[in-house]
Structure 1
Amino acid sequence: MSNPFGTVTPDAILEGTATDAYFERTRSTLEHAGKNPHVVAEVTADQFPTGDFQVLTGIEDVATLFEGRAVDVDALPDGQLFDGGPVMRIEGPYLEFAELETSLLGLLSQPSGFATAALEARLAAPDSLVLSFGARHVHPSISSVVERAALLAGLDGFSHVAAGEILDRDPGGTMPHALMFCFGEGNQADAWRAFDEAVPEETPRIALVDTFWDEVSESLLAAETLGDDLDGVRIDTTSSRRGDFRHIIREVRWELDARGHEDVDIFCSGGLGPDQLRDLRDVADGFGVGGHITDRDPIDFSLDIVEISEGSEDPSSGRTQSDGPSEPISKRGKLSGVKEVYRTSDGGHHVALADRDGPEDGEALLEPLVRDGEIVREFDLDEASDRCLADAEAVGFSDRE
């Protein structure tokens, strides 16, 4: 069976069949009527700034989507924060990209939501190790999308093996409760000792210490078992049993220190979000965050035509080009006309018509992405991450919590 998990194939996305049916019917209707207008379309979430900044990502995938199509695309840089106005502009014959709208929005909406949630976690514990543990909450075919979004937002790593192969990063994580169950209660030391003997030397020795007994008892046993080889302990106590989680962590820290194990780190996981990270960041060394990232709703992007003109075929190239004056256009509730967005020195986000002057100290954010079907931008995840964190500081993203 060529597609055993029933996922939509890359070819379907690139060819435009991963679309809503009404776009196919739109094509049939326009071709029947002999119409293919030259348009400018914009991708937006909010028309005006609301003060609620979000992270944009998925740009590289969109560039791949438009490669080879007779359109020009401008977009914000990967990892840029935005607050109202367009994040992307597409110009060309409408039928060059009509069926791509569904995939285009999906390529931006879900990863941007993941990245925004991951940025919240990152800034909640800026000096702690924070890993993405959320791949188990999504379809495995998009696990690398989750993990890339987490890295872009500044998280220190992730746990998914196949995503690591795609992103050329080593996955993190050590042992599950299942390993402890396989050795049985009373044999925790055997489990940790076997783990130490089996895994590569570069793998951190992080013992899971909340399986059978209380967290203090298992932490002390792990320290006694592995001695100086123990790098840390992980507490993953389910929320229904943990009581005062902060007190538990402080108690573990106290008892480890009292026995000379000051170098053993404490890592926490299990249903943690920014509120918990802010509360625990001074007593724990690191965190695994899952559901907070993967449970985030996609950002509600839409694509709207904002300018239109008649199109005609260029005899020299066979491509459709603009023929006649362009007119601003929009549906009710949306803003007509081609727009630009700006970042000002005070971190403000401004929207203005592209043919008018922007703010005096404003930097225009939309940059060329595709020109006549050719990708004209290079992509680097580390640079995008640096951009995301710097822009978050510039706009005061963490101040909203």
Structure 2
Amino acid sequence: MNTAELGLPVAVPSTALFTDQYELTMLQAALRGGTADRRSVFEVFTRRLPEGRRYGVLAGTGRVLDAVENFRFDEAVLDFLRDRQLIDDATLEWLAGYRFRGDIWGYPEGDVYFPGSPLMRVEGTFAEAVLLETVILSILNHDSAVAAAASRMSVAAGSRQLIEMGARRTHELAAVAASRAAYLGGFHSTSDLAAGFRYGIPTVGTSAHAFTLLHDSERDAFTVQIASLGRGTTLLVDTYDVAEAVRMAVELAGPELGAVRIDSGDLLLVAHRVRQQLDDLGAKDTKIVVTSDLDEYAIASLAVAPVNAYGVGTQLVTGSGHPTCSMVYKLVARAESTAPEAPLVPVAKKSLGGKTSIGGRKWAARRLDADGVAEAEVIGTGEIPPELADQQLLVELVREGRVLARESLDTVRERHAEARASLPLSAMQLSRGEPVLPTEYV
């Protein structure tokens, strides 16, 4: 859900300069050479998953659709380009009327993907499609990296709550996108209010160590917080002595105390001790929240701990060691001429070093076994085999420049859970391994 869905005012800045200069210089040369209007097909894909990952998670499609709609060269943008003398007057005039009027197909947001998966296909003239390369890649690479990390953490956490709290560990705008991607990947709430405002994600937060240190004693701090936020609040108990803080917390709030948070130390050991202490004090329903540089491996190691929720920051918003998905945006087909009916010709990069690509406008399907479990990602450029016709993955997102439909974030989140559940059980392993599905080209 975005601010428009919430009925809130939305500022819509131009996204036209979220691009690289060479997109505009290519445009200028193509306009001059008479090839700018050739019908073209670009595809987004990755040649490999991050090392050791079993599957990827597509996130950011909704943000891409917003960016494409707002890709406009207004007067301020045109003045900037004119003042820098980056492109000629003819190109500036062309950009003044720019609107993407092509088509976009893609995997549904929240779906899983594998090496070679044609995650997004952009079709239009070369001129209108080439300009979108950088903004599409910057969104999909970032959001998909965070969503993949979130998905792995969700697997590790099982039914326990996950709180995204990484805003202070990344760029302020990236933090909002990261919250969205984390929620898609299985997190339940965020500490970032901008993400709650823009996307309707549940927000949480109570106090930091600074609040405790502000007061003359820990008792004073707890007393004020309980008076302000109620007995159901979460008290941070590791500023001084954990055992004493837990005893005091239950004394002041009673067994109705909502939760205690532990942010340091041997979390496994401390959580067991705190749970025993809470139970002994009669606070059997008081929950335990743990934070402190968690990643999916740390979360998995705490599976036997009496923990109710995890707060995750740095490792989540940086993709847990893989802050990008290495997605690329490549021309895979173009028309023989600018004539409207000119046939498409497959094209592909053939350079050395593993950076080759496969030409042609592609379809993709996920073949299932007799039990309905995915067994292969099948990609082709010709006619799709009849047995795969009802298992196609790409859906129409934009037709002749018009966004066909926007989905709520909850819908996308549910789709990811279903897609992940359709994979073989080995996909849930956190140990390093190959992609859980092979990619077959037909």
> Shorter chain as normaliser: what TM range?
0.7 to 0.9
Label 1:70 to 1:141 Cα distance change in 2 as closer, same or farther (>3 A): same
Q: Deviations over 1:294-351 (max 9, x none)?
A: 1221211101111111443xxxxxxxx6442211110111101111121222313423
Paired position in structure 2 for 1:300:
326
Paired position in structure 2 for 1:60:
62
Paired position in structure 2 for 1:6:
none
- CA drift of 1:10 comes to 6.0
- CA drift of 1:52 comes to 2.9
Structural mapping, 1:1-400, within 5 Å: 11-13=13-15, 15=16, 17-36=17-36, 37-46=38-47, 52-67=54-69, 68-84=99-115, 85-184=117-216, 187-199=217-229, 204-213=232-241, 215-237=242-264, 242=265, 244-282=266-304, 283-296=306-319, 297-312=323-338, 322-332=340-350, 333-345=356-368, 346-358=373-385, 360-361=387-388, 363-396=391-424, 397-400=427-430
| One-letter identity of the residue aligned with 1:306 | V
Asked if the contact 1:93/1:311 (under 8 Å) is kept, the reply is: no
Label 1:51 to 1:135 Cα distance change in 2 as closer, same or farther (>3 A): closer
SS of residue paired to 1:267: strand
Label 1:219 to 1:58 Cα distance change in 2 as closer, same or farther (>3 A): same
Q: In terms of mean alpha carbon deviation, does 363-372 or 125-134 score higher?
A: 125-134
| One-letter identity of the residue aligned with 1:130 | L
Scaled by the length of structure 2, what TM-score is found?
0.80
SS of residue paired to 2:358: coil
Q: Separation in 1 of the partners of 2:314 and 2:139?
A: 20
Q: Separation in 1 of the partners of 2:301 and 2:292?
A: 15
SS of residue paired to 2:422: helix
User: Percent identity at matched positions?
Assistant: 26
Q: Deviations over 1:225-247 (max 9, x none)?
A: 2113311110001xxxx2x3311
Asked if the contact 2:102/2:399 (under 8 Å) is kept, the reply is: yes
Give 5+ residue unaligned stretches, structure 1: 1-8, 313-320
Q: Separation in 2 of the partners of 1:372 and 1:101?
A: 18
- CA drift of 1:141 comes to 1.9
Aligned residues: 373
Q: Separation in 1 of the partners of 2:317 and 2:138?
A: 15
Scaled by the length of structure 1, what TM-score is found?
0.88
Paired position in structure 2 for 1:4:
none
Q: Deviations over 1:175-219 (max 9, x none)?
A: 1001001014xx1121111011123x5x94111000012x22211
Q: Separation in 2 of the partners of 1:256 and 1:113?
A: 38
Q: Separation in 2 of the partners of 1:173 and 1:236?
A: 14
| One-letter identity of the residue aligned with 2:348 | S
Label 1:233 to 1:327 Cα distance change in 2 as closer, same or farther (>3 A): same
- CA drift of 1:45 comes to 0.9
Asked if the contact 2:183/2:201 (under 8 Å) is kept, the reply is: no
- CA drift of 1:269 comes to 0.3
Paired position in structure 1 for 2:5:
none
Q: Separation in 1 of the partners of 2:277 and 2:49?
A: 54
- CA drift of 1:156 comes to 1.1
Asked if the contact 2:18/2:135 (under 8 Å) is kept, the reply is: yes
- CA drift of 1:34 comes to 1.7
| One-letter identity of the residue aligned with 1:391 | A
| One-letter identity of the residue aligned with 1:225 | L
Asked if the contact 1:74/1:367 (under 8 Å) is kept, the reply is: yes
